[in-house]
Structure 1
Amino acid sequence: MAAPAIHYRVECADRKAHLFAVTLTIDQPAALQRVTLPVWIPGSYLVREFSKNLQNLRAVQGRRKLEAAQLDKCSWQIECTPGKPLVLRYEVCAYDNSVRTAWLNADRGFFNGTSLCLQVEGQLDGPHAIEVLAPPTSADGARWSCATALKPTKVDRHGFGSYIADSYDELADSPVEMGAFWSAEFEACGVPHRFVIAGATASFDGERLIADTRAICEEQMRFWHGDKVGKRNGPKPPHDRYVFMLNAVDDGYGGLEHRHSTVLICTRRDLPQIGARKQTDGYVTLLGLISHEYFHTWNVKRLRPAEFARYDYARENYTQLLWLFEGFTSYYDDLLLRRAGRIDDATYLKLVNKTINQVQQTPGRLVQSVAEASFDAWIKYYRQDEQTPNTTVSYYTKGALVAMCFDLTLRAEGKGSLDDVMRLLWKTSEGGPIDEADFAAALEAIAGRSFAREIAAWVHSTDELPLSDLLRVHGVAALDDPAQRAQELGLRVAETGGSVQVKVVLRGGAAEQAGFSANDEWIGIELPAAKGRPAQGWRLARLDDLALYLGPLKKATALVARDRRLLRLALTLPSGVTTWRLFAQDPAKLAKWLSRP
């Protein structure tokens, strides 16, 4: 690798003010050197305008101060002497405690390159060096460490120092975690892995988390490369190192994938606890998140939409294939938990059941196809409002069900499985960009027939998926259970402090027919006088109280507050609203689906 001509120096300038200081040195600038800051980060499809956090940009060559003329919202141009190092200094306010941007306070530092590192136009493909400086020791005496998947060139025992990236793309794809975090290292199929956690409590069971994570990683490497992966003369995975970075907070959930690492966020209660005998639902959710982001190491970071062959960081990058890359990953995350022995059949069916009911309770599935939802991620999925469930469908959840339909259809026809299709795509694309035609060709190669009809119906239309029939063939039956009250009424609500706040009114439901609106406060119900009973009014603290007050009655007047006005809405409770409950009808058939081939 050539010597880097681009150098970044990152300092924790003021932890109380949440300010990083960055010094960018360009050894060989152009006469009119342009620099830009990305407006989005790959994997999170929303223009986030990271430049809003950049301030005090200054430029010098030697002792000469230069003007950094702003060209647009995220670009600057400096007129300078070519061949003489150009130095830019600026600050970044880091106050987004998520996986997508940057954060700095007295306890923790974190950043993605897309938030801190200006792009140097004309020099994006060459090596980039970055030096991360250790902050002064905190008043409480806690010594910080630094973790990143970047290749170190000269670092101290705490991880602070100099790193190198092959290109700006690699720099942008390599987040950095700093703080007095918990850390552990392990190997999976011969590949070194590290897990760091900020915010872990004293009750946290690190041994269990590492054992479970190792099992997930090894299961996924075997999925893609076979049982001999990592063994002598066996196939090698595409990554030679990997870092999990987890931020444990009071309330939060999410993840963002990278080529050699992932950033996760969960609640502290979701971490495994020392001495706990039972696996909590929260911990299962965390394992599913770990599995999901690790699967992206192959599916989206390497095997990816053709439109993502080269990212354009200055604008939206559109694709109709997020159902395949996010949806299929959402199918395999829990399935591979089952194959790795981290959950049992009942837990897996419970997770599938939840996904099915989520999709069925989204009226937008009848409005927008999953391919259209992928394309509209920039304006719909990542900009959700009160009408989102009525206008779009999640390419995560419906995409997972589409994947399941392809998998179960292939298995039912005795023509392999979706596993074979994914491995064939990896082989034929050499772990690179693909389009929908490539996916269709791989399906046909495995099945021996065209899947054009299924792709048209399941991906490009709003037709219902044949879930019940396919599940029954594989030993799983679905019972119709009475819906919960909010689902029955077509509502999504928040019940806090003895108040029922309407968040979403679902299209076609009883609440919409009555005239409910998002942001209403449902105060109570009124019942007319009847034989042996006077007219009554009841304050409503939670939806489940309706059964207590209404009894067998199906009609009532709902009293709601809207924009400080009191309204009376005629509400008729529907009958026959149900949700699915899956159960294993034929465990032997189910085992053939869920077990590793």
Structure 2
Amino acid sequence: MKNRLFKIIPSLILLFFLGFTVSAKAQNEIAYSVSFKNAMHHEAEISFTIPNPPSGSLNVRMARSSTGRYATHEFGKNVYNVKAKNAEGNPIKISKIEGDVYQINSPGKSVTISYTLFGNWVDGTYAAFDRDFAHMNMAATFMYPIGLDNRPRTLQLNYADKPNWKVVTQLQDLGKGKYFAKDFQYFMDSPVNIGAFKSTKWNITNPDGKQQTIQFHTNTKDEQPIVDNFGNLLKKMVDEQIAVFGELPTFDYGNFYFMQNVNPENAGDGMEHRNSTVIVERDDKIEGNESDMLSTFSHEFFHAWNVERLRPKTLEPFDFSHANMSDGLWISEGFTQYYGQLLLKRAGLRTLDEITRTNQSILNTVLLSPGALNYSPIESSQYAVFADAGVAVDQTNKGNMFTSYYIYGAGVALALDLRLRADFNLTLDDYMRALWKEYGKPEIPFTMEALQKTLGNLTKNTKFAEDFFTKYIHGTAKEDYKSLLEKAGFILQKARPGKAFSGFGRINFSNGKAVLGATQSTSPAYKAGLNIGNVLLKINDQDIKSQADLNKIMDASKPGDQLKINFTQRGLPYETTLILSEDPTLELITFEKANRTLTPEIKSFRDNWLNSKIKQ
């Protein structure tokens, strides 16, 4: 009896302290509530209660940036009717001290803040409310108290008048429309979609024996068999992605959610989150558009490893009050871009011709664009604070000093993959697995030095790793793509050898006026002093009033010809001389199309690169 009592007492003490901890946690829980009574006018009514606020003044704010985005987006512009009440339900003063920051002095034991949010932009960044759905990116939707990031959050969703709606979110489901997040960062990274979804799902068992579920939910007019068929295509893609890393990430609560909205009036987007992704399509339906849609799904799912867990230190922790600059988007977004298409090819969802055209586009950007020629992948990544869906009313010179880190990084991935295969009998898959084991799975944020070190360890050649990072990551040098691609049976060559090139770019012909767009600094047009807004009048004394007029002159010209250009700038007449060059555009073709022999060795190299890695 005595021994049993000694066993019971510690258990009672433990239960007491556990109960006390849970109770204390609940006392500090920030509780949100959302209703949609005016959704037809794109409004949501939101409130949140903060128990035990800090003494003195309490500041709350709307975010200015969002997970998965790197520029600022000023979500506070859509907030109004901001009010506050104390624990007794009496109104208290709340003052706006900045455009998106509000202050309450002496909030007391508890404070509840309410506001109206307008949302009518359906993409991965903003919020949208309508008769048939609610679409919430958390940063665009919810105010938050400053300095209370460690407190848990609950979210109560009120939609009793919408019996056909259901909720899709990675937040923990507590039942009866209530959801839970362990802290601020998790809450803000957990989008919520509500609507009459059609769904399909399947289970996957990880190598450790744990089963996880992949769920696909779509707001679409397609019938269920179309949704099921698309789910089968997704399964093939997911299996190839697992083969790269050897396992799925451990998803919180055992689920990953594809959250899709399909409507031609959407803004369009794909946005990754820790255990989910929001994919917004501009098509009218899934049927007939599966191939295009798969590109976004493949890219976003690869993020479940690369960026959500294998994450640059420059993005940790994410700061919602301003833009988040990173030096690592060339790998986080760029390598993801590369694998997004490569893995569709491996899954049998892309043809050889399609992946060839994809790589051709990458090569033209990386080898010819001024941004890639003059600025490094790291500098490209850092410019995301201005380029990532950022809005500006003034013109920029982006075309001459920025190349998208998506495409630039994909070019780096292509080069490194081929180098590892050609020189080390390794692959980019090996490198990604090594990074996953060292930094992604344990969730240790990486630095550029860490990436270089892992490459050196993998290849057992630290000099190679140092040279690669010095030249191609910190620098602007470019790999010898031509010789690397030949090892896989591809030829990189001029697409239009001997053809004249002006570099005028896209010209807007309207009412007999030829108005130039921005010209690239490497082009003959730029070197002749021509740029955006100039109006072409004559070339060699011939009037230019249509595309046909321009084509006639260019077809009769050759590289090296000098053309007299008459144009106006801001209404004033000018004349310049433009010296045509050879068209620099590149094409990538297979040995087969060039009637070159595809040897067994080359075919094996290509197959090992582009074909499935699923073990039958």
TM-score class, shorter-chain normalisation, is 0.7 to 0.9
Kindly indicate whether residue 176 of structure 2 is the aligned counterpart of residue 169 of structure 1: no
How do 1:209-288 and structure 2 match up within 5 A?
209-226=230-247, 240-250=254-264, 252-268=267-283, 271-273=286-288, 283-288=290-295
Shift of 1:59: 0.9
| TM-score, L = length of structure 1 | 0.85
Q: Secondary structure at the match of 2:344?
A: helix
1:316 matched to 2:332? The reply is no
Partner of 2:317, secondary structure, is coil
Report the AA paired with residue 358 of structure 1: T
1:367-406 paired onto structure 2 within 5 Å: 367-380=374-387, 382-383=389-390, 385=395, 387-406=397-416
Q: How has the CA–CA distance of structure 1 residues 46 and 414 changed in structure 2, closer, same or farther, with 3 Å as cutoff?
A: same
Corresponding letter in the other structure for 1:22: I
Asked whether the equivalents of residues 112 and 175 of structure 1 are also in contact (C-alpha less than 8 Å), the reply is yes
CA distance in 1, matches of 2:287, 2:407: 26
2:492–2:587 CA contact under 8 A, matched in 1: yes
1:332-387 CA-partner distances (Å, limit 9, x unpaired)? 11111122221122221211111111233421112211111212221345448552
Aligned position for 2:460 = 448
Provide the residue aligned with 1:299 in structure 2: 306
Distance of aligned partners of 1:9 and 1:361 in 2 relative to their CA distance in 1, 3 Å threshold: same
The aligned counterpart of 1:79 is: 105
> Equivalent of 1:152, from 173, 177, 183?
173
Ranges in structure 1 where 5+ consecutive residues have no aligned partner: 156-160, 230-234, 274-281, 529-535
Distance 2:431 2:511 in 1: 51
Which residue in the other structure is 1:510 paired with?
524
Find out whether 1:63 has 2:63 as its counterpart.
Answer: no
Q: Do 1:197 and 1:246's aligned partners in 2 also have CA atoms closer than 8 Å?
A: yes
The residue aligned with 1:102 is 127
Whole-Å separation in 2 of the counterparts to 1:422 and 1:186 = 26
Question: Does residue 480 in structure 1 map to residue 494 in structure 2?
Answer: yes
**Structure 1 position 570, deviation (Å):** 4.7
Write out aligned runs for 1:134-149 (5 A): 134=159, 136=161, 143-149=164-170
C-alpha distance 488-562 of structure 1, shift in aligned 2 (>3 A)? closer
Q: For the structure 1 residues 538 and 455, does the alpha-carbon distance in structure 2 shift closer, same or farther, using more than 3 Å as the test?
A: closer
Q: Is the 8 A contact 2:501 2:582 kept in 1?
A: no
The structure that has the greater radius of gyration is: 2
Indicate conservation of the 8 Å contact 1:490/1:507, yes or no: no
Distance 1:363 1:288 in 2: 27
Corresponding residue of 1:158: none
Q: CA deviation at 1:268?
A: 0.8
- Contact 1:415–1:447 under 8 Å retained in 2: no
1:322 partner letter: L
CA distance in 1, matches of 2:232, 2:482: 35
Letter in 2 for 1:546: L
Residue of structure 2 equivalent to 1:533:
none
Name the SS for the 1:185 alignment partner.
strand
Instruction: For residues 9-57 of structure 1, give each alpha carbon's deviation from its aligned partner in whole angstroms, at most 9, with x where no partner exists.
Output: 0112422432211010112222232222221002111111111221121
Give the stretch that moved more between structures: 572-581 or 32-41. 572-581
Give 1:527 shift.
4.8
Corresponding residue for residue 179 of structure 1 = 195
For residues 537-548 of structure 1, the aligned pairs below 5 Å read 537-540=543-546, 542=547, 546-548=550-552
Larger deviation: 552-561 or 161-170?
Answer: 552-561
CA distance in 1, matches of 2:191, 2:251: 21
Q: Pick closer, same or farther for the CA change 1:238–1:437 going to 2, 3 Å.
A: farther
Give how far 1:101 is off.
1.3
1:572-583 alignment runs, 5 A limit = 572-583=579-590
CA 1:431–1:221 in 2, change beyond 3 Å: closer, same or farther? farther
Structure 2: distance between partners of 1:549 and 1:296? 48
Distance 1:508 1:527 in 2: 23
Counterpart Cα distance in 1 of 2:223 and 2:550: 43
* 2:364–2:585 CA contact under 8 A, matched in 1: no
Distance between the aligned counterparts of 2:429 and 2:554, measured in 1? Answer: 51
Give the counterpart letter for 1:78 in structure 2: I
Contact 2:500–2:582 at 8 Å: present in 1 too? no
| Distance (whole Å) between structure 2 residues aligned to residue 236 and residue 364 of structure 1 | 38
Determine if contact 2:62/2:144 at 8 Å carries over to the other structure: yes
Q: What is the match of residue 336 of structure 2?
A: 329
Tell me how far apart the structure 1 counterparts of residues 196 and 532 of structure 2 sit (CA, whole Å). Answer: 43
Q: How far did residue 556 of structure 1 move?
A: 5.1
Query: After superposition, where does 1:35-54 map in structure 2 within 5 Å?
Result: 35-54=60-79
1:29 to 22, 36, 53: 53
Check conservation: 1:408, 1:470, Cα contact below 8 A.
yes
TM-score (norm 2): 0.83
Query: Which ranges in structure 2 are unaligned for 5 or more consecutive residues?
Result: 1-21, 206-210, 592-597
Moved more, 68-77 or 125-134: 68-77
Secondary structure of 1:222's counterpart equals helix
Partner of 2:483: 469
Contact 2:360 2:586 in 1 (8 A): no
Shift of the alpha carbon at 1:311?
1.6
Residue type matched to 1:440 in 2? Answer: Q
1:433 counterpart residue number: 445
2:10 aligned partner: none
1:290 has 2:297 as partner: yes
How far, CA to CA, are the matches of 1:486 and 1:192 in structure 2?
A: 56
More helix by share: 2
Alignment correspondent of 2:473: 459
Q: Which whole-Å CA distance do the structure 1 matches of 2:157 and 2:164 have between them?
A: 15
Question: In terms of mean alpha carbon deviation, does 334-343 or 545-554 score higher?
Answer: 545-554
CA, structure 1 residues 183+487, in 2 after alignment: closer, same or farther (shift >3 Å)? Answer: farther
SS in 1 for 2:582: coil
d(CA) in 1 for partners of 2:554, 2:448: 52
| Counterparts in 2 of 1:491 and 1:360: CA distance versus 1, 3 Å | farther
Q: CA deviation at 1:478?
A: 1.2
Cα–Cα, structure 1 residues 487 and 266, in superposed 2: closer, same or farther, change >3 Å?
A: farther
User: CA offsets, 1:385-422, max 9 Å, x none?
Assistant: 55212012221111111122222211112342221222
* CA–CA distance in structure 1, aligned partners of residues 587 and 540 of structure 2: 32
Give distance in 2, aligned partners of 1:489 and 1:285: 30
CA drift of 1:181 comes to: 4.0
